[in-house]
Structures are given as structure tokens and as C-alpha cells.
Structure 1
Amino acid sequence: VIVLPTGAGKTVVAIAAVAWAGVWSLIVVYTRDHVRQWIDAFRRFTDAQSLVGAYYGEEKRLAPITVTTYQTAYRHIDRLAPLFPFLVFDEAHHIPADKFKRIASASPAPYRMGLSATIEREDGRHEEVYSLVGGVVYSSSPGELTRKGYLAPFVIRRVKVELEGEEKRLYEDLKRKYRILARGRSFEKILEDARRGDPTAIEAIRVNTRMKEIVQLSESKIRAVEKLVREELSRGSKVIVFTQYRRQAEEIARRTGALLLHGGLERRVREATLAKFRALKAGALVVTTVGDEGLDIPDANVGILVSGTGSRRQFIQRLGRLLRPGEGKRAVLYEVIAKGTGEELQSRRRRGRG
């Protein structure tokens, strides 16, 4: 397993390994967009493009170097497994999913490589990757690679906002209700009790979800994002705004005039939007979680994290979108956080501090 931040060259490392191994190689990726990106990378970095095939959807061409998706590989592993002595798992943290781990367990391949920006999973199941693929043989952080000059230098800035008016009143009311329902239980214990049908635990989860929505969708956060986007565009920046919620993404795009990318858009619309943004010298793009994996905008230099999770992997992926090196480039990631809420703890967790 190779652990490198987004933009550090994991794809190139794997291509070098395929060239070294000299055997039929199956590359398993998460989305159809990733299939095209990998095939393009083989065209850029090798003269082996005639040996590369795609195996997914309607296109199923087996070749000495075949790129497929996790879903397709799972469905066709009995056919694929005997053909490929080398398996490469992109975004290897997906392997422990109940379906996907069969791709590794059903294959006799002696050569295996897993690639990930952060191999750890919130549920602890990353340990399964090591038995199915192998241990971590190389790992480096964004900070280390920045110091060595492989990634653009970056700074993370926290922008704190206050919940206002009705939002703040409702949040405080829900917080009091949650404490009563929780009865001192940890959130993990509440989840466990909810699965057993405990009505107070089920209600506590509902209240907690509503609290998060109030915070992450707050008007004060959207206004802060508007201000940041305007300031950065005036400096000629190329900005990506990251959010968990489609409704919030649509509102920010409407208010800022930014391009919009979410999972509800047709694939051709997503591709056209990305092509348009890549062609801009300066501009803004708002993305939901559809942009957490596989988003390749090399000259983006500013990110605004307006809503997300406490996941360190998601944080590293989003930061990595900004770190591809360029002459004179210095990346900035803003975290927009509501003061006095669970977002402050969430921010510390995803940064690996608490």
C-alpha cells in the first residue's frame, strides 16, 4: 500500500510498477471518470496505449493493462481473476466494503498494490486492506511533500462565524434536548442503542442530525463564503467550494455565479462543467461530495470548506485538490466554522488534532 496525498503522483507510481512488473495488470478504480483519467495517464506517461483497455459499462475490452471499476470488477471477478497477476487498487480504502473485498480475495494475483490519500477508515476496517493487499510500504503527508518541493506550499485558515437569530435559538434548544435524550451516553453508544430499537436513542440521532443541518446550512456561513469567493476572485484565484449538501451548493452557486457540480447532474453535464472550469484562468466551482475523489483541477489554488464531516480522509482529499505544484503557486484552504458548535470539534478531528 502506498499512502500519498492527492496530487502527489500515486497514479505515476502505479504506472511505473505496471511497467516494472511486465505482466497483465488490472487497475480497479472507483468511478467511470477515474477509468478515463487512468487511460489518459497511460497515454501521457508511456508508449503502451495500444496495450490499455477499459472494462466497464458497455465497453468491455480486455487488454494487457485493463482499467475497470470496483462495481464491474466485483460482478465479473470470476472471469477477470485468472487473467491478471497484478492488481492495482486505486482509492484502496474502499476494498473492505463487503462486496469489493471479494475482488481481492477471489484473485490469485501475486502482485498487489493499493493507493490511497489516507488509508484509515472511520470504522477501523482499514486493517482488512493489509491482509488483502499488503502493508503500507511508503507514506508521506502533504506537509512533508511540500517541504521537499513536490507539492505546492499551503496554508489552512479557519474562518469562524456566529449563528444568528432563529438559527441560534433553535440550535440551543435542540442541544438541550439532545443532552436530555443522550443521558450521558457516547454517540457510538447511542447508535448502538438505536439499532436495538431504543426510542430515546432514535430520537437523539434525529435531533443530532437536525443540529448539524442548522449549523452546516446556516445563512451566516453562506454569507461568509460569498465574501471569501468575491475576495479571492478579485485576486485572480481559481476557487473550489466544498459542501456536503446539494441544496447549499445550489444556493452558493446562485449567489456567487460559480459553476456547479453535484451527483444529480448527468455525466455529460458534469464533464462539460469540469472542462469549462479547467479552461478558466480564474473562477469558482461549487462541488458536493461527488468531487471528493477524482477531481483533477491542477491550477486550483483556493479551497473553501463550508460543510463536511470529521473524516480526515475527506479533509486530505479536499486539501489535495489544491496542491498540484505550479510556478509561484501557494494554496489556501479556508474552513468556515460556526462558533460554539460541534463543528469546532469536527475541525480538530479531521485535522488529526483530537
Structure 2
Amino acid sequence: MSQEFTRQLLVVRNALVSASLSGEVERIVRSLLTFRVPRAIRTRKGVKWTYTSRSFYFPELNAFPTGFLQDVLHVLGQMGVYPEVVDRRVCPQGGRPFELDIELKPFQREAVEKALKLTKAVIHGSVSSGKTVIAAGIVSRLGLPFLYVTHRQDIARQTYERFKAWFPDSVSVGLCTGGTRVRGESLVATYQSLKDLPLDFPILLVDECHRVVSEAFTNAVSNCDAFYRFAFTGTPRGRSDALDTIMDKLLGPVVQVADYDTIKRENLACDAKFIFVVVQEDLPVTDPSDFHNAETLFIVGGQKRNELIKTVCESRTKEGVTLVIVRRREHGLYLQKMIKNALFIDSSSPASRRDEARKLQSGVLIATGVIEEGIDNPNIDVLVNAAGGKSSIVTKQRIGRGLRFKEGKVLKVIDFVDLAHPLLFKHSFARYKIYKRLSDDIVFLSEEGRIVESPFGQRRRQSR
């Protein structure tokens, strides 16, 4: 191996490693940091699964995320290549710790201690574990300027308002979203608004970090060279593109905060019971593998399903909110026409309507994926999963919208077993397994409301 080949330099910073590598070594590193990602493509004949490439080597910077450093050194070492490593990471000094105007629960204080010992971590908290409170606790202990990054404007605004309420006046917090700019020594921002902004912050906090492996989110996080890097999610695993472990490389190891039972004991989450209604739509199956077609016919257009949803919503006899979650906007609008006085929100809804959804005391709220993160209303005591699907991440986020604690509340979750379509039936079974990890209180009802045997066991026996 030539001398030129073995003279390599890696400069390590908090977010990225700058690489000065010869052409052959750079190609090796690029190959190591390129991953095959499954991708579904819809064609006239149905859905076709293919693969695309996703690289975490940034050629315009000649750099890669610091979390990959040991992997790179290991592979190069096996080839007899030992680059010079210069570590430029420096722990920031001069912090001014302060008291919060909110008391942390014991498990939240423990999470703060664990995070500070690691300096970078993905904090995994169950639904209603108070991840924003934990973030505030970290900031108060360090007393340094921070950047808090999220993906939606309403979540950014809500977090900004909470920090302003919890922090003393001496802590200056700004807000940066698509149409809002409030200056501050620290900043709460959407990642889309960070382009061309200086990101010189000692602390980086990333909300709903299971999204961080998306290209735009990765770039935003990598541009902030914070020494302290903490991220928060209730669903660290379960991505459909199989890039879950990349999150660890970008933000640090996963630290478990508290399980669902702990959250309930602290009166932060309520109990839940699950009801599956077994539905047999009288529709033909044209392509058993085409989810889009199945969703259009059996979920959005499923007459029996939609009539059952209407019945659930109109049969309330007490105060409280029934939340109906849909995936497609046209489904939500269709149900809104069916259900009297229902409020519908989606990503295009103005902030005033989302605030109305948060404060709703009683009635029916229909929402698309906009409800899955950031909208908390403790008055939701019935949740109808009208969207279907099989994603562990999305399903847990949907259920989390109804688990906010309220004295005496038990959340009733209503879902559907779609018997008529084999793909939707598999999705129903996937959701059943997710619910089973939260509660053993699961019953199956016929369309007429009679208790029936689980169809999942029946179908497996029939297939043998």
C-alpha cells in the first residue's frame, strides 16, 4: 500500500467528522456509509417494492456524522489504514443553572441525570412521560444556550410558550418558524426554518427524533455543532425504511426513561381498553397486495366501517371528546359530513382551529396525522382508529393522543378487523399486537355489537 494511501486525516467535532482522505479511502468510507433503503412504488399493476440508496457521507463538506467514527476506524483498520485523528470537541463552560417553575417527577429527574452523564443520548419516554419537561430539566441544569428543533410550527410554538412559562425571565428564549421570528439567546425552531441561520449553540435538543434520519432533518441537525446533544421520542424503533439504528449514530444511544406502567402510577397517563369491531365489507378484492386501492375501497369508502364510526360518535351519553383519526383528508371530510357538528383538522388547518381542538371539552374531533404529535387534550376519552395501517411508530403516537391523564378516565380505543381484504387483515393483526403490549383488556365485537372470538386465531387455524 502506498504512503499516499495511508496518509489520512480525520478532524472530529461534535456533529461531524471532517475527512481529508485519498480517493480510494474516501470511496471505501462512502460505501460504508451508504445504506439500501426499501421503498414502495405504486404502479398500474399495484405496489412494487424496490430499494434506493441513502448516503450519510456529505461530499460537499467531505464529512460524516461523528457517531460513525468508530465504524469507519474499524473498517479502515482491518485494511491496514490508520488515519490521524484530531479531536476538536471541547466541553462548553460558563453555564448558569437556574430553577424551573415546574416540579419534575422522580423518573424525570433520573432521566436528566442519565442524560447529563452521557452528554448525548436519545431519550425514550413512553406516551405522556413529559419529554418536554425532561428537556427543560436538562437546560436548567446546564444553564447554557440551546437550540430546540421540531418538525411542526404548532409544536414549536407550544414548546416555546411552555419554556417561557417554566424558565425565569433571565433566560432569553426565541422562536423561529415559517412566519415567526422572535429573537433570543436560545431558540425553539422548526428544522425547515434553520437554513442560513447561525447554529452556534452548546446544547441541541431534538423533538420526535425518529424523524431525524430524513435527509432534511439530518442536514439541520448536523449543521449544529453542539457539545450536548439530546433527542426525544416515544418510538425509537419501528421505521418502515429500516434506518432505526442510524438515529443512534446521529444523536447517541437510546436511554429508556419510564414504561407505561410507571407513567400511569405517576398520574400522567390513564388506563385504556381496546375494542376491535370485526367488519366484513361486501366488496371484491382486485389486488391483494395493493394497499392504496384497498385503503380507497375498504377504509375511505367502506360503507359498513363508516356507518359504525358514525354510530360510535353519535351514541355518546356524557361529556368528553371522541377523536376519530384518519389517514387521508378526503376520508376526514367525508366523515365530517356524516357526523353532526364534528370538528375536522388537518395540516392545512389554521392555528386557531388546532387550538380549538386542544381546548375542546366535548363533541367529535376528526383529524389526520396532524393529531399524532403535539396536540394534547385530556378530554379525549374515546379514540377511533379509522386510519388502519401497521406502523408501530404511528399507531403508538395515535393512541398517545388519548392517554393524557384525567381523574377517573379510562380511554376506550375502537379499531377494526378488516376481514374482507387479506392485506388489511394483516395490518389489523399488527395493530392488535401493538395494543396487546399496552393492555390485556381487548375485546372483539361483531358489527351488531355482540362479543365474538378473536378472528386472528381463527384465520391462522384455517390457513393450516
TM-score by length of 2: 0.63
Q: Kindly indicate whether residue 291 of structure 2 is the aligned counterpart of residue 211 of structure 1.
A: no
| CA RMSD of superposed structures (Å) | 2.2
Q: Deviations over 1:11-38 (max 9, x none)?
A: 1010111111111100001111011100
Aligned pair partner of 1:174 in 282, 287, 298: 287
1 CA distance for matches of 2:188 and 2:151?
Answer: 11
SS at match of 2:175: strand
SS at match of 1:248: helix
Q: Corresponding residue for 2:314? A: 230
2 CA distance for matches of 1:143 and 1:161?
Answer: 32
Aligned pair partner of 1:13 in 134, 139, 147: 134
Q: Which runs of structure 2 are paired with 1:64-103 in the superposition (5 Å)?
A: 64-73=185-194, 75-76=195-196, 79-80=198-199, 83-103=200-220
2 CA distance for matches of 1:13 and 1:344?
Answer: 39
Letter in 2 for 1:157: I
1 CA distance for matches of 2:258 and 2:425?
Answer: 26
Aligned pair partner of 2:398 in 318, 321, 340: 318
Answer with 1 or 2: which has the greater Rg. Answer: 2
Q: Please report how far the alpha carbon of residue 208 of structure 1 lies from its aligned counterpart in structure 2 after TM superposition.
A: 4.2
Q: Corresponding residue for 1:254? A: 337
Q: Which runs of structure 2 are paired with 1:109-128 in the superposition (5 Å)?
A: 109-120=226-237, 121-128=239-246
Q: Corresponding residue for 2:74? A: none
Give the count of matched residue pairs: 310
Letter in 2 for 1:263: S
Q: Corresponding residue for 2:428? A: 347
2 CA distance for matches of 1:34 and 1:68?
Answer: 9
Structure 1's 279 and 100: CA in aligned 2 closer, same or farther, altered over 3 A?
Answer: closer
2 CA distance for matches of 1:300 and 1:20?
Answer: 34
2 CA distance for matches of 1:308 and 1:136?
Answer: 28
Q: Corresponding residue for 2:224? A: 107
Q: Corresponding residue for 1:307? A: 387
Contact 1:304/1:336 (<8 A) preserved: no
Q: Kindly indicate whether residue 361 of structure 2 is the aligned counterpart of residue 281 of structure 1.
A: yes
1 CA distance for matches of 2:405 and 2:291?
Answer: 40
Letter in 2 for 1:92: C
Aligned pair partner of 1:162 in 267, 270, 280: 280
Letter in 2 for 1:109: A
Letter in 2 for 1:142: Y
Q: What are the ranges of 5 or more consecutive residues in structure 1 without an aligned counterpart? A: 179-206
| Greater percentage in helix | 1
Q: Deviations over 1:152-187 (max 9, x none)?
A: 1111211121102xxx2x22x433xx6xxxxxxxxx
Q: Kindly indicate whether residue 279 of structure 2 is the aligned counterpart of residue 153 of structure 1.
A: no
**Identity of matched residues, %:** 23
Q: Kindly indicate whether residue 181 of structure 2 is the aligned counterpart of residue 60 of structure 1.
A: yes
Structure 1's 62 and 311: CA in aligned 2 closer, same or farther, altered over 3 A?
Answer: same
| Greater percentage in strand | 2
SS at match of 2:241: coil
Contact 2:129/2:258 (<8 A) preserved: no
Letter in 1 for 2:227: P
2 CA distance for matches of 1:28 and 1:88?
Answer: 6
Q: Deviations over 1:170-212 (max 9, x none)?
A: 22x433xx6xxxxxxxxxxxxxxxxxxxxxxxxxxxx442123
Letter in 1 for 2:429: R
Q: Corresponding residue for 1:195? A: none
Q: What are the ranges of 5 or more consecutive residues in structure 2 without an aligned counterpart? A: 1-121, 437-455, 457-464
Q: Please report how far the alpha carbon of residue 278 of structure 1 lies from its aligned counterpart in structure 2 after TM superposition.
A: 4.1
SS at match of 1:100: helix
Letter in 1 for 2:306: I
Letter in 2 for 1:224: L
Q: Corresponding residue for 2:32? A: none
Structure 1's 280 and 26: CA in aligned 2 closer, same or farther, altered over 3 A?
Answer: closer
Structure 1's 58 and 241: CA in aligned 2 closer, same or farther, altered over 3 A?
Answer: closer
Q: Which moved more, 1:88-97 or 1:131-140?
A: 131-140
Letter in 1 for 2:277: V
SS at match of 1:113: strand
Contact 1:84/1:109 (<8 A) preserved: yes
Structure 1's 143 and 53: CA in aligned 2 closer, same or farther, altered over 3 A?
Answer: same
2 CA distance for matches of 1:128 and 1:174?
Answer: 34
SS at match of 2:347: coil
Q: Which runs of structure 2 are paired with 1:129-148 in the superposition (5 Å)?
A: 129-146=247-264
Letter in 2 for 1:104: V
SS at match of 2:380: coil
TM-score by length of 1: 0.81
Q: Please report how far the alpha carbon of residue 304 of structure 1 lies from its aligned counterpart in structure 2 after TM superposition.
A: 0.3
1 CA distance for matches of 2:224 and 2:356?
Answer: 41
Q: Please report how far the alpha carbon of residue 282 of structure 1 lies from its aligned counterpart in structure 2 after TM superposition.
A: 1.5
SS at match of 1:301: strand
Structure 1's 39 and 126: CA in aligned 2 closer, same or farther, altered over 3 A?
Answer: same
Q: Which has the higher contact order (CA 8 A, sep 6+)?
A: 1
Contact 1:253/1:260 (<8 A) preserved: yes
SS at match of 1:174: coil
2 CA distance for matches of 1:312 and 1:125?
Answer: 14
Q: Which moved more, 1:331-340 or 1:320-329?
A: 331-340
